Structure 1
Amino acid sequence: MRTLLLLLTLLAAPLTAAEYRIQTLADGLQHPWGLVELPNGELLVAERRGRLLRLNADGSRTLIEGLPEIAGGGQGGLLDLALHPDFTDNLWLYFSYSQPGPGGTGTAVARAKLTGNRLIEQQVIFEQYPKTPGNAHFGSRLAFDPEGYLFITTGERYHSRDSAQQLDNHLGKIIRLHDDGRVPKDNPFVDRPYALPAIWSYGHRNIQGAAIHPGSGVLWAHEHGPRGGDEVNIIKAGANYGWPVVTFGQEYSGGVIGQGTHHPEMEDPVWVWVPSIAPSGMLFYTGSQFPHWQDSLFIGALKGRMLVRLTLDGEQVTQEQHLLSELDSRIRTLVQARDGGIYLLTDESNGKLLKLMAPL
């Protein structure tokens, strides 16, 4: 109940545009989803329709060739991007996507070496099991922790909500792998019969935001609730996060889901939104352009059409602030730039790449 009381008592204080300036770096992007900054300062953008673009320093765009077959449509397509921690030396680019196959589609992750404008030596390192019909709830955020482990977030594929509580599938789970797809020997369910060994945590609905805490090295994630009940969670090995047994949300028709908002054997969220803001993208800010934002947690909002800043005291949220509501845009992805600015992607048919900068 601590989370709910905080949510009810703290005000969402808006920030004025005088505290930042916005640069439009690119427009005309079709539902951009994933973004990485290359060592040379160029950017790679994943469009959900299945295109990978290099945004060159001169403002031009180059199509990157070599992607696998991708099942586009609905929430599916080419989704998140991540660079290997040693990308400068090995050129490994990771990408998540909706993969077609027997039974329907599922979240998959591949890696390939980016050489020039082509992907080579492609390897699929994760395939969600089982594939299911439908085109919703693919999750798909990628995050490397300080030890080099890769976390992959999934969704329960919407029509398979009860699967999130079962360990014999990858639906509604967070996955932890070595960089080449091998399962770490210390994953929590490696030795449990009938459990899939790649699972790190379970009981999730649809996780579209994940980030490593810069101080602790621990994964934080947020997930979409149904009608209300979006959550921010601190992810623990082997933990159950409740969906669909406990939730602060309700059926889209208005009915009750599960058994309430708390269960003694399940993890409580550290923050909840009721009504939903539809969170996507997640960033712990550590840059120098906004010193007063140091260690804040930033989250994009699709339905809420804003950028949310959460002020933290350890593992507690002490304040929520709203930025960029003047843009009236669905904010999909956040990436901290090397110069301390914040890159943002807007999820629209005429999507934009924006950069949040300190005032002049």
Structure 2
Amino acid sequence: MKRLMMGLVLLIATSAVTQAATLRTEILAEKLNFPWSVAELPEGGFLVTERSGQLVFISESGNKRTVELDLPDLYVAAQAGLFEVLLAPDFMTTRELVLSYSCGTERANNTCVVRGILSPQPPYSLLNTQNIFTALPKKEGAAHYGARMTWLPDATLLIALGDGFVYREQAQKLDNHLGKIVRVTRNGEAPDDNPFNHSQAPEIFSYGHRNVQGLIYDAARDAIWQHEHGPKGGDELNKIVKGGNYGWPIATFGIDYTGAKVSPFRELPGVKPPLYLWTPSLAPAGLALYKGDLLVTHLAGKRLQRLRLVDDQWQLEGEYLQDINARLRAVYVAPSGRILVLTDSAEGQLLEVFFED
């Protein structure tokens, strides 16, 4: 069966896509409260964040137990809450992990990241929690936090940060963290080789972002892949480079929800063009690598897509999970090779999916 492609590859016309593989699913856990992120533990089982503020351990048998953690400044409302859980590269020996979440109050909040040590065995608790990054300035409202994270080979951490929705002009300014991807050490310091160490926000790695919802490092290609929400249309897949400007809001393929133009420009000198576009918007919300392909989950689009790099262009290889009619928040390929998907609802599920190709 062929499906019409919902994005533009390198900004050219749409093309037909053949379903190259079938997919089967297994439910690992249910009744999760807006699950946002998942990590596989080396001893077995999974950690899942719930946006409402809980870190949940799920055993291989599907039993759930809340992990004790202390986040006194957690702010939960609308899009705000607990976001990504990411194990440290040396988790096997240190038991260290990082968590991103919205911190502060309704009138003054932003994205925070803490690190902590997971106790050695169930019932788990997160010990020695300490803040390593707070996005500044604090802003009002509960939208566009970004909050996806990935480790680089030098053990520095990339943290994606949203533009705060009504603060979009700040994404082009280098004196704040809004609409940026930042790079920090494990202690939260700005590395000396960051591109804007002269600025008031030396943690900045790239800028001109709207609301990053997918961020991964591709070791085989030594590349950082990222996707972010556009407004009405203009969801983007990008290759992130140090110091790059990705255009928001001065260059975009999207328009405002009112129908008004955000910018008259789709391309500008010095702005990195997207590698792939989703128009109309599918709201990509998760990103993972599988056998060299990119897996993308979508909220509004209610599907899992598989993209393949062909002649330096990302092309849509297949679409899956539309039959379950669920908003899909995240996709994660575990170190064991297992592919995990989270559905986005008050009765969310943790799914394991299997490509039969």
Residue number in structure 2 paired with 1:22: 25
Aligned mates of 1:223, 1:182 — CA distance in 2: 25
Residue number in structure 1 paired with 2:253: 248
Aligned mates of 1:281, 1:327 — CA distance in 2: 17
Q: CA deviation at 1:359?
A: 4.8
| RMSD over equivalenced CA pairs, Å | 1.7
- Specify whether residues 63 and 2 from structure 1 end up closer, same or farther in structure 2 by C-alpha distance, changes over 3 A only: closer
Residue number in structure 2 paired with 1:128: 135
Give yes or no for the alignment of 1:312 onto 2:309: yes
Aligned mates of 2:63, 2:347 — CA distance in 1: 17
- Specify whether residues 13 and 252 from structure 1 end up closer, same or farther in structure 2 by C-alpha distance, changes over 3 A only: farther
Aligned mates of 1:268, 1:358 — CA distance in 2: 31
Residue number in structure 2 paired with 1:290: none
Conserved? CA contact 1:145–1:217, under 8 Å: no
Aligned mates of 1:295, 1:26 — CA distance in 2: 28
Aligned mates of 1:168, 1:259 — CA distance in 2: 25
The counterpart of 2:270, out of the listed 265, 278, 287, is 265
**Gapped regions of structure 2 (runs ≥ 5):** 1-7
Residue number in structure 1 paired with 2:225: 220
Give yes or no for the alignment of 1:158 onto 2:158: no
Q: CA deviation at 1:217?
A: 2.6
Partner secondary structure for residue 10 of structure 2: helix
Moved more, 67-76 or 93-102: 93-102
Give yes or no for the alignment of 1:178 onto 2:175: no
Deviations 1:213-269 (A, max 9, x none): 131232110000000000000001111100000100001011111132100111001
Residue number in structure 1 paired with 2:75: 71
Aligned mates of 1:83, 1:33 — CA distance in 2: 15
Residue number in structure 2 paired with 1:119: 126
Conserved? CA contact 2:82–2:100, under 8 Å: yes
Residue number in structure 1 paired with 2:3: none
Q: CA deviation at 1:58?
A: 3.3
Aligned mates of 1:189, 1:320 — CA distance in 2: 38
Conserved? CA contact 2:100–2:147, under 8 Å: yes
- State how many pairs are aligned: 346
Give yes or no for the alignment of 1:335 onto 2:338: no
Aligned mates of 2:283, 2:9 — CA distance in 1: 22
For residues 137-156 of structure 1, the aligned pairs below 5 Å read 137-156=144-163
Aligned mates of 1:85, 1:314 — CA distance in 2: 32
TM-score (norm 1): 0.92
The counterpart of 1:10, out of the listed 15, 20, 23, is 15
One-letter code aligned to 1:84: A
Conserved? CA contact 1:102–1:131, under 8 Å: no
One-letter code aligned to 2:203: A
Aligned mates of 2:285, 2:345 — CA distance in 1: 14
Conserved? CA contact 1:11–1:320, under 8 Å: no
Moved more, 298-307 or 317-326: 317-326
Conserved? CA contact 1:341–1:358, under 8 Å: no
Deviations 1:157-178 (A, max 9, x none): 0010000000110000001011
- Specify whether residues 61 and 195 from structure 1 end up closer, same or farther in structure 2 by C-alpha distance, changes over 3 A only: same
- Specify whether residues 2 and 324 from structure 1 end up closer, same or farther in structure 2 by C-alpha distance, changes over 3 A only: closer
Residue number in structure 2 paired with 1:85: 89
- Specify whether residues 334 and 146 from structure 1 end up closer, same or farther in structure 2 by C-alpha distance, changes over 3 A only: same
One-letter code aligned to 1:146: P
Deviations 1:62-113 (A, max 9, x none): 1111230210011110001100000011111111000015942100100100
Give yes or no for the alignment of 1:324 onto 2:321: yes
Aligned mates of 1:183, 1:311 — CA distance in 2: 34
Aligned mates of 2:17, 2:284 — CA distance in 1: 16
Aligned mates of 1:129, 1:204 — CA distance in 2: 15
- Specify whether residues 242 and 329 from structure 1 end up closer, same or farther in structure 2 by C-alpha distance, changes over 3 A only: same
TM-score (norm 2): 0.93
Q: CA deviation at 1:14?
A: 4.1
Q: CA deviation at 1:320?
A: 4.2
Aligned mates of 1:139, 1:325 — CA distance in 2: 25
